């Protein structure tokens, strides 16, 4: 490896080590990231049909409970959707692996939830 390549690697390493650490994001039990949608209001989901195909709701299984800040809201189809701090939660169909956050910022209205 030549001297310039080594200096470039060192410079890149120094630049990336100076980046701030990303805050932990909220995820489901399966490790997949959950998101909130800015168009939801009053704890009710505004994401149905094509939207819900791309952004599946995080559905609660019968009578499941979680900790502080967690609750459920009823969807139009009767399913119970998990909410966090009063906001319905969704998965992003583009996330294929645990911990991915590919949906964060899409359309300026989809966001990860920082713990």
Residue 3 within any structural domain of the chain: no
In a domain? residue 72: yes
Locate all alpha helices (DSSP H) within 25-105, ordered by sequence.
50-54
In this structure, is residue 10 part of a structural domain?
no
Would you say residue 13 lies in a domain?
no
Number of domains in the chain: 1
What percent of the chain has a predicted confidence (pLDDT) above 70?
81
Instruction: Inform me whether the pLDDT recorded for 14 exceeds 90.
Output: no
Please report whether residue 4 resides in a domain: no
pLDDT at 18 over 50: no
Question: Looking at the domain assignment, is residue 66 inside a domain?
Answer: yes
Q: Is residue 87 part of a domain?
A: yes
- For the cut 90, the answer to whether the pLDDT of residue 108 exceeds it is yes
Residue 5 has pLDDT above 50, yes or no: no
Q: Is residue 63 part of a domain?
A: yes
Residue 40's domain comprises 23-112
Q: What pLDDT is attached to residue 22? A: 62
- In contact, 35 and 89? CB cutoff 8 Å: yes
């Amino acid at each position: 490896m030549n001297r310039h390549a080594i200096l470039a690697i060192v410079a890149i390493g120094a630049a990336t080590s100076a980046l701030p650490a990303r805050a932990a994001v909220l995820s489901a039990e399966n490790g997949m990231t959950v998101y909130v949608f800015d168009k939801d209001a009053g704890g009710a989901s505004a994401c149905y049909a094509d939207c819900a195909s791309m952004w599946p709701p995080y559905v609660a299984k019968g009578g499941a409970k979680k900790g502080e800040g967690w609750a459920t809201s009823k969807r139009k189809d009767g399913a119970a959707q998990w909410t966090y701090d009063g906001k319905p939660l969704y998965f992003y169909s583009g996330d294929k692996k645990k911990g991915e956050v590919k949906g964060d910022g899409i359309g300026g209205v989809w966001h990860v939830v920082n713990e």
